[in-house]
Structure 1
Amino acid sequence: MLHIVNGDVVGDKLKQGVVQGDVLVWREVYPAGPIFTNPAGVEERAMRARVLQETMEIPASDYIKSCEEQEQRLREYTKYDEVVLWFEHDLFDQSMLAYLLHWFKGQKLGRTKLSLLCIGDYPGIERFYGLGQLTPAQLQTLSGTWRAIGLHELELGSELWQAYASPDPLQLSTLLSNKKAELAASSLPYAYDAFTAHLKRLPSERNGLGIVEQTTIQAVRNGVSTPLELFRLVTDSLHVLGMGDLEYWKVIRALMQGEHPLLVIEGGESGIDVRRIPDFLNRPVTLTVLGNEVLSGSKDRIAVQGIDEWFGGLHLHGHEVSWRFDDLAGGLVQH
């Protein structure tokens, strides 16, 4: 039996006698960087590696090596009678799950059974963020509760991945709208909320701030004063995204960049990687005049600061963008 899990914390716990068989930790951050229908292509992988190195300081060579190693292990699935996918409700996991379902849809499973364990809560835990919160004993109670994955789930997962990887976000928005009930009734009940939250990451029609930037700047205006406090508050408020620290510091750096920063961290110059500021986690964070104007809607973040960001397969770059999200109407707007 092969267990594919979403992170080393969960993987290490499963190896403590929680499950029988081998454990493969799928190390990816699909909410960040460029996404392609086939991310394993040579050119696609090289481009993704370059962007992740530039924006999150993940060494390109290490990233490529890790991908090649985990994909080699994935291709060995035929050695196992059963492959179990362990995932949770947030975008970090749901994008990973969608990719793996897309990949398995293109394989001949033969005698190998494919199963899924995907949860969004756990008894006794008031704020459930993920499987990594659970003790080995708690994970043990989940062992064996997974459900078999059929062609229907493989097709849904593949559709989600292809729409997520498309440079046209309307594909994903339309898919979510048309298949909301179908997703809810399937083994993928968390996909709708996770990928809807992804679309809300696009720049707002009102002020150019995506949901992460909006939540961050509003928190600073409300009195949150350090990067550490911001990280905790924003990732808690937007737990449906499942953001890690590397993803979030990328957002902070973008808000500080250029000649028109929206945020300032004491001791940090515009455009500097925040992690290079000594003790940056506890440094004072302040909102600039421009930051206040953008938050109020009198200035537009994209117009004054620009953007260079990937949202799945969509790349928004420059001071004018082709797609935005309308906070009030709750949908995409094309320009």
Structure 2
Amino acid sequence: MENIFHILNGDCLAGQLKETSIDGKVIICREALISGDVKASSLEGFWKLRAGFIAKEYHVDHENYYEKVVSEFQKISDLPGNAEVHLWFEDDLFCQTNMWFCLFLLSDLKNIRIYRVYPRIPINKDHWKGFSLSNAKDLEESLHSKVELEEKDIQLGIHLWNAYQNQDMGRLIQLSEIQSGCFNKLKEVIEAYSNTFPENQTVNNLQVYIKELVDSGITDFNSVFEKFQQDFGIYGYGDLQVKKMYDAV
């Protein structure tokens, strides 16, 4: 259908969606806003900032970033009036920061309806595995159970993005107290984010955690990454994010 759009949390989910009967156009969020500087005074400045970070951190040239990443976000800005937008994001910190940014972009559009689509997590399964646990039927049922964002929910997303951009931990903690059916696990996610700051030297600090793993004899990266995912799935980190911390030990 012409006015239905699905903003997905990555290419993997895009592949899964192809196996379903779900209609609509797909927009893929290919950023990792959990890493690197995100503070800029304009959107154009933001793209330049992120392109520079991605080029340095992941060896992706600027042209490729604009072609693969910015072009997808531009589709959000170009959405037509009366669009129905589905946000397919999980509850982990990685996905949430990306979703907050998408809501920031969507906030400039008029006469659109925005929905949050949650993964269906089987009982006794890891909540943070998200859509990776879903088959075609699960994805179709997730869409059927979508939750519409009210204006207050959209504003919460914008405020979260602004506070995150400014690394305003106090404001994020304040916002995490707000109850919303569109932001599950928000309090836990913000608390987890606070543990990424260097001044937090408790065992919950990720760098401290990885160092303790290595000191205990778990030195192989694959083993460290597997253990990290088991204990800290709330972050949603991929191997690139964990490898950076591992290399710093």
Letter in 2 for 1:30: L
Letter in 2 for 1:252: Y
Aligned to 2:169: 169
Note the 1:62-73 alignment, pairs <5 A.
62-73=64-75
Contact 1:34 1:48 in 2 (8 A): yes
Contact 1:77 1:83 in 2 (8 A): no
Q: Which has the larger radius of gyration?
A: 1
Contact 2:76 2:105 in 1 (8 A): no
Asked if 1:14 corresponds to 2:17, the answer is yes
Contact 2:201 2:208 in 1 (8 A): no
Contact 1:56 1:250 in 2 (8 A): no
Aligned to 1:95: 97
Aligned to 1:44: 46
Letter in 2 for 1:84: H
* Residues in 2 aligned to 1:74 and 1:20: alpha-carbon distance in whole angstroms: 17
Percent sequence identity is: 20
| Counterpart pick for 1:187 among 178, 182, 188 | 182
Contact 1:197 1:241 in 2 (8 A): yes
Mark the CA change 1:47 to 1:102 in structure 2 (over 3 Å): closer, same or farther. Answer: closer
Cα drift, residue 11 of structure 1: 1.0
Letter in 2 for 1:5: L
Aligned to 1:61: 63
Mark the CA change 1:29 to 1:113 in structure 2 (over 3 Å): closer, same or farther. Answer: same
SS at 1:159 equivalent: helix
Aligned to 1:260: none
* Residues in 2 aligned to 1:38 and 1:8: alpha-carbon distance in whole angstroms: 29
Letter in 2 for 1:213: Q
Note the 1:152-231 alignment, pairs <5 A.
152-176=152-176, 180=177, 182-183=178-179, 185-206=180-201, 211-231=205-225
Asked if 1:250 corresponds to 2:249, the answer is no
Moved more, 236-245 or 66-75: 66-75
Segments of structure 2 that go 5 or more residues without pairing to the other structure are none
Letter in 1 for 2:11: D
Contact 1:3 1:23 in 2 (8 A): yes
Aligned to 1:148: 148
Note the 1:70-149 alignment, pairs <5 A.
70-78=72-80, 81-108=83-110, 110=111, 112-119=112-119, 122-124=121-123, 126-128=125-127, 129-149=129-149
SS at 2:182 equivalent: coil
Contact 2:55 2:62 in 1 (8 A): yes
Cα drift, residue 246 of structure 1: 1.4
Contact 2:7 2:85 in 1 (8 A): yes
The number of residue pairs the alignment matches comes to 245
Cα drift, residue 53 of structure 1: 2.1
* Residues in 1 aligned to 2:200 and 2:83: alpha-carbon distance in whole angstroms: 50
TM-score with structure 2 length normalisation? Answer: 0.88
* Residues in 1 aligned to 2:12 and 2:223: alpha-carbon distance in whole angstroms: 23
RMSD of aligned alpha carbons = 2.2
* Residues in 1 aligned to 2:193 and 2:152: alpha-carbon distance in whole angstroms: 23
Contact 1:36 1:44 in 2 (8 A): yes
TM-score with structure 1 length normalisation? Answer: 0.67
Mark the CA change 1:243 to 1:7 in structure 2 (over 3 Å): closer, same or farther. Answer: same
